[in-house]
Copies of this chain bind each other. A is one copy, B any other.
Amino acid sequence: MTFSPATLIAKKRDGGEHHPTEIHALIEGFQDGSLADYQMTAWLMAVYLNGLSDGEMTALTKAMLHSGRVLNPRRRNGAPRIDKHSTGGVGDKISLPLAAIAAACGLHVPMISGRGLGHTGGTLDKLESIPGYDTQLSIQAFERTVAKCGASIIGQTTDIAPADKRIYALRDVTGTVACRPLIVASILSKKLAAALDGLVLDVKVGRGAFMKDRASASALAKSLVQVSTKLGTPAVARLTRMEEPLGRTIGNALEVRESIEILRGEGPMDTTELTLTLASEMLLLAKVCHSRSHAMRVARAALTSGAALERFAQMVELHGGNARVVERTALLPKTRFQVPVHAPQKGFVQHVDALALALLALELGAGRKRAEDKVDHAVGLEIFVQVGDRIEKGDLVAKIHTRKHDPHHSRAVLQAIGVGAQRVERPPLLVGRAIR
C-alpha cells in the first residue's frame, strides 16, 4: 500500500482527517494483508474516540462497498430498485409484508438481509421457518426472482462487502461496535451493493433498540441518508419507537404468521400502518408516487386487493418454500406447549419491556447468543397487550411458545409488563418527520 499503516493510524489518533485516498488505501491494505488485523483494530478504536467526518464516512463506505461484488442487474423491466433497512428491533418482521407490498406496487425489492444476533431477530431466520424456503440463492437466481415477482430476500453472499464482514468481526471483540460512522459504513456497504435506486431506513430508537435516545438515533439517520445520497442512492429515514415489541409476536415462525396476517389485512393496526408508511416512502423515493397521500392509497390498495399476499406467496415459491403457508399458517413449525399467561391484577398497561421480552425469547431458543448457535424456529412469545390497554385480573396477556414448561418464564413475562392504576396514552410509533 502507498501509505504506511502506522502513519494512517497516527493521523486518526491525532484527530486528523483522512483524504479519501488514504481511506481507500486502508481498506485495500486490509484486504491484501499489508495492514494487519491488529492495525485495523487500533485504527477502529481511534475512530471510535475521534470520529470520522462526513467525507471520511462516505469514503469508508465506498471503499468497503467496492471491497466486493456490486450487482449489475440486467432484467430491470424499467422497475425502480428500492430496498428498506431497519437498524434492528424486537418483533420487527416488517421486511416480509413490506417487500410484498412494494413488489405489488411495481417496485423491485432486491433485499439482501442478515441473521439475528443477540436480542434482535433476523429476517433470514424468520423466512427459514417456512418449510423449504432457501435464503441462499445464487445472485443469478436472486435477480431472476426479483425480475419475476418483484421481490427476493436472501442472505449476504461471501462476495458482498467482504471487508465489512472481517471488520465487523473485529469490532465485535474490541468494543468498537457502538460507533456511528462505523455503523453507517457497515450498513450501507452491504445495502448499496444491491445497486439500488433508493433506500428507506427505519432507525429504531428506545430501550429495545441499539440507539437508546432520539439524539443519537437522529444523528445515525442523518448520516445514513447523507452518505447513501452522496454515493448516488437517494435515501430517506424514519425514526420509529422501539420500547415495546413491534406487533404481537416475537419468534421466527410466529412472526411469519403475523406477517401473513398483516398481508391478509388482519394484522395489528399500528404495525400495519408502519408497514404502509414505509411502503409509501419507497414509492415516493421511486417517484412512482408524488404525494404522501397518494402513495399511502397505492400501498393500501396492494394490501386490500390481496395483490401483496399473492406476491409473497410467489416469492416463497420461487425460493423453494411451501407457498400454501399463506393460506394455512398452521403449516409453520409449532411447539408442543403454548403456555398462557394471565394478568394477576387489573389496571392499565404502563409499559411492555421489549428488551426483557427479547431476552426471554432468546432464552427460549428463538435467537443466537453466539454466531454459531442454531435457532429454534417454533419458539417465541405472543403478547396480547399494549401500553395504554385496560386489563382485568385473569385476562390473557401473553402466550409462551416453548419446548419446556418453566414457571420462571411466566414470571419473566409478567415482570416485563408493567400494570398500574394510572391511565396512560400510547405514543405513536413514528417519531418526527422523514429525514432526507
Contacts and interface: CB of A to CB of B under 8 A. Distances in A.
B46 A44 contact: no
A42 interface: yes
Which one of A7, A38, A44, A49 has the highest number of Cβ atoms from chain B below 10 Å of its Cβ? A38
A40 B175 CA distance: 12
A185 to B, nearest CB: 17
A139 interface: no
A13 B170 contact: no
A9 interface: yes
Interface in A1-48: 5-7, 9-10, 13, 36-46, 48
A175 B10 contact: yes
A174 B49 contact: no
15 contacts: A7-B175, A10-B175, A13-B45, A13-B48, A13-B176, A37-B37, A38-B40, A38-B41, A39-B41, A39-B174, A41-B42, A42-B45, A43-B45, A45-B45, A46-B49
A172 interface: yes
Contacts of A44: 42
A50 interface: yes
A215 to B, nearest CB: 18
Sorted from nearest, which 6 A-B pairs have the closest CB atoms? A10-B175, A42-B174, A45-B45, A9-B175, A41-B42, A37-B38
A291 to B, nearest CB: 46
A421 interface: no
A117 to B, nearest CB: 14
A173 interface: yes
Interface of A: 5-7, 9-10, 13, 36-46, 48-50, 170, 172-176
A174 B38 contact: yes
Contact of A5 (B9, B10, B40, B173): B173
Nearest to A179: B13
Nearest to A44: B42
Contacts of A10: 175
B172 A6 contact: yes
Contacts of A174: 5-6, 9, 38-39, 42
A175 B9 CA distance: 6
Contacts of A172: 6
Nearest to A169: B38
A175 B41 contact: no
Which one of A5, A10, A40, A41 has the highest number of Cβ atoms from chain B below 10 Å of its Cβ? A41
A37 to B, nearest CB: 4
A150 B80 CA distance: 84
Nearest to A39: B174
A13 B46 contact: no
Contact of A175 (B36, B42, B50, B175): B42
Given A13-B175, A38-B174, A39-B173, 10 more contacts: A7-B175, A13-B49, A37-B37, A37-B38, A38-B173, A42-B45, A42-B175, A43-B45, A45-B49, A49-B50
Contacts of A40: 38
A36 B38 CA distance: 8
A329 to B, nearest CB: 40
Given A42-B42, A46-B45, A49-B49, A36 B173 contact: yes
Contacts of A39: 41, 173-174
A9 B49 CA distance: 12
B13 A173 contact: no
Which one of A7, A38, A39, A175 has the highest number of Cβ atoms from chain B below 10 Å of its Cβ? A175
Nearest to A172: B6
A265 B10 CA distance: 46
A421 B87 CA distance: 70
Contacts of A170: 38
Contacts of A13: 45, 48-49, 175-176
Contacts of A176: 13, 42
Nearest to A37: B38
Contacts of A46: 45, 49, 175
A323 to B, nearest CB: 43
A5 to B, nearest CB: 6
